[in-house]
């Protein structure tokens, strides 16, 4: 797992070594070392929480710059549906699609269109006998990675289907080759316009053995600024959106569930809330009739991604306007369809990575754990973060793992010792002056 390439990068100059990100990281992957934040890549799930909370803007999501990739002969833009929530006063998605063509793309393929297909296949999948329920959506890559790291028991509950952006990429390439048979594989490039850092990592690293069909990932904020420059034109759009309410609804939490077309679903967002839901599923503490679970790491869903521009709640409201006059769905399966095409299925489920394991040997793990417990009794337990660890417990763990020399690195204990010393010195002084 050491070769997993994350998309969260640190600007060391801007990082002051404050502990905001350390305390907010849901997997306790960050420590302050030598005055700046350091991410443990094995633990990082690319949720982007550290980018979101950094008061110094020292954390960034790494993305490709559009201008470096304009040399491809046939460039296809894949806008995530959350893009449509970024513009004030937008009532027609076509204007955004036209804008994408105007900034230099040769074609546009909506991820929302593929999302409607995924919804249709999900409804089909839920009827399959013998599957493990509740089925958990595999659309949010943070959740898939979280399950692989912490909830291995739930991996069979994951929907075994590729996320909409991948299916959009496959379909977009097929369409390009059909319409332009003269194009060679290397002429075509699919650009995903991403709302979040996690999708960037997913595309770079693939998913298990699966390699992404997307060639370039650009950030939604970069595209946004290019689009507002061209979208003011008064000419009518030459492209027409091919997605309905369901597809665009995927941009915010609950949209995917609504597309299940029955009541037996649950949705949650925010990484801590998702953690709680996963804990409950693992404990079997879920209503029996529950069929489908949608979990999004970002509050409000994809519109809350860190590469978006607009406040997620406003974006969500705007999407309500955009969706109002759309048909429920514009994409359906053929009547006789009774299986998910194998090219849309991902067999390579994430494999369990026991990241928090102290040692490979149980006896050794137990000895280390006992040592952690002893240390915790000595520590102040106020989780101040001054040592660079998120909690006193994490500090104790780091000592036992050998990352921190010893308990003398606890600032609070050192201060206490210092105060006691002063008191004693004071006593000595008073004795001396008497």
The contact set with another protein (CB under 8 A) reads 150, 152-153, 279, 282-285, 287, 352, 354, 356-360, 362-363, 365-366, 369-370, 373, 397
Least separation in angstroms between residue 366's CB and another protein is 6
* Cβ closest to another protein, residue 57 vs residue 357: 357
Crossing angle between the packed helical segments 197-205 and 141-150, to the nearest 10 degrees: 70
Please list, in sequence order, all residues whose beta carbon lies within 8 angstroms of the beta carbon of residue 140, skipping any fewer than 6 positions away.
198, 295, 296, 297
Name the nearest CA neighbour of 25 among 38, 34, 35, 13. 38
Name the nearest CA neighbour of 52 among 79, 25, 33, 17. 25
Least separation in angstroms between residue 301's CB and another protein is 25
Least separation in angstroms between residue 337's CB and another protein is 35
Least separation in angstroms between residue 5's CB and another protein is 25
Tally of CB atoms within 10 A around 337: 12
* Cβ closest to another protein, residue 272 vs residue 421: 272
* Cβ closest to another protein, residue 155 vs residue 180: 155
Least separation in angstroms between residue 342's CB and another protein is 28
Q: What three-state secondary structure class fits 373?
A: helix
Least separation in angstroms between residue 157's CB and another protein is 13
Least separation in angstroms between residue 284's CB and another protein is 6
Alpha helices in 103-219 (DSSP H): 111-126, 141-150, 164-179, 197-205
Least separation in angstroms between residue 36's CB and another protein is 27
Least separation in angstroms between residue 279's CB and another protein is 6
Least separation in angstroms between residue 230's CB and another protein is 51
Name the nearest CA neighbour of 376 among 400, 341, 340, 344. 400
* Cβ closest to another protein, residue 16 vs residue 371: 371
* Cβ closest to another protein, residue 174 vs residue 365: 365
Interatomic CA distance for residues 258 and 243, integer angstroms: 15
Name the nearest CA neighbour of 106 among 164, 228, 191. 191
* Cβ closest to another protein, residue 370 vs residue 418: 370
* Cβ closest to another protein, residue 152 vs residue 208: 152
Beta bridge partners of 265: 292
Least separation in angstroms between residue 362's CB and another protein is 6
* Cβ closest to another protein, residue 216 vs residue 278: 278
Q: Please state whether the peptide bond connecting residue 134 to the residue before it is cis, i.e. omega within 30 degrees of 0.
A: yes
Alpha helices in 210-361 (DSSP H): 220-230, 245-249, 255-258, 271-282, 312-323
Please list, in sequence order, all residues whose beta carbon lies within 8 angstroms of the beta carbon of residue 20, skipping any fewer than 6 positions away.
53, 54, 55
Q: How far is CA 177 from CA 92, 171, 189, 292, 317, in A?
A: 28, 10, 12, 36, 37
* Cβ closest to another protein, residue 114 vs residue 277: 277
* Cβ closest to another protein, residue 31 vs residue 173: 31
Beta bridge partners of 79: 193
Tell me the pairing of strands 59-61 and 8-10.
antiparallel
Tally of CB atoms within 10 A around 231: 17
Please classify residue 181 by burial: count the beta carbons closer than 10 Å to its beta carbon, then call 0-12 exposed, 13-18 middle and 19+ buried.
exposed
Put the strands of the sheet holding 265-269 in their side by side order. 135-136, 292-296, 265-269
Name the nearest CA neighbour of 331 among 125, 108, 118, 59. 118
* Cβ closest to another protein, residue 174 vs residue 276: 276
């Amino acid at each position: 797992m050491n070769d997993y390439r994350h998309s969260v990068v640190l600007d060391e100059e801007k990082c002051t070594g404050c502990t905001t990100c350390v305390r907010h990281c849901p997997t306790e992957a960050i420590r302050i070392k030598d005055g700046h934040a350091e991410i443990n890549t094995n633990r990082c799930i690319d949720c982007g929480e550290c980018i979101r909370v950094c008061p110094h803007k020292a954390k960034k999501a790494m993305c490709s710059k559009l201008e470096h990739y304009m040399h491809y002969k046939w460039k296809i833009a894949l806008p995530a549906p959350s893009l449509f929530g970024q513009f004030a006063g937008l009532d027609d998605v076509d204007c955004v699609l036209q804008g994408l063509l105007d900034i230099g793309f040769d074609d546009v393929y909506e991820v929302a269109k593929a999302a409607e297909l995924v919804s249709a296949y999900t409804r089909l999948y839920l009827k399959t006998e013998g599957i493990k329920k509740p089925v958990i959506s595999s659309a949010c890559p943070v959740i898939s990675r979280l399950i692989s790291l912490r909830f291995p028991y739930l991996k069979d509950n994951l929907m075994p289907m590729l996320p909409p952006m991948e299916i959009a990429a496959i379909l977009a390439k097929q369409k390009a080759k059909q319409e332009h048979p003269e194009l060679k594989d290397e002429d075509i490039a699919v650009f995903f316009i991403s709302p979040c850092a996690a999708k960037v990592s997913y595309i770079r690293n693939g998913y298990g053995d699966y390699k992404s069909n997307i060639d370039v990932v650009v950030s939604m904020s970069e595209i946004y600024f290019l689009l507002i420059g061209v979208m003011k034109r008064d000419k009518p759009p030459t492209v027409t959106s091919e997605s309905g309410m369901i597809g665009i609804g995927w941009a915010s939490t609950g949209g995917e569930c609504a597309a299940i077309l029955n009541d037996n679903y649950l949705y949650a967002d925010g990484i801590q809330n998702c953690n709680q839901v996963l804990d409950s599923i693992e404990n079997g503490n879920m209503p029996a009739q529950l069929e489908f679970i949608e979990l999004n790491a970002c509050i409000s869903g994809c519109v809350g991604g860190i590469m978006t521009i607009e406040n997620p709640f406003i974006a969500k409201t705007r999407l309500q306007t955009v969706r109002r006059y759309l048909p429920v769905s514009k994409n359906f399966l053929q009547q006789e369809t009774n299986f998910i095409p194998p090219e849309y299925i991902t067999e390579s489920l994430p494999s369990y990575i026991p990241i928090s394991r102290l040692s490979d040997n149980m006896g050794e793990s137990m000895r280390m754990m006992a040592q952690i417990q002893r240390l915790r009794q000595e520590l102040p337990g106020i989780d101040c973060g001054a040592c660079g660890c998120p909690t006193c417990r994490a500090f104790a763990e780091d000592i036992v793992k050998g990352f921190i020399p010893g308990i003398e690195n606890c600032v609070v204990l050192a201060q206490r010792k210092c105060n006691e010393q002063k008191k004693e010195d004071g006593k000595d002084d008073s004795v001396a002056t008497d």
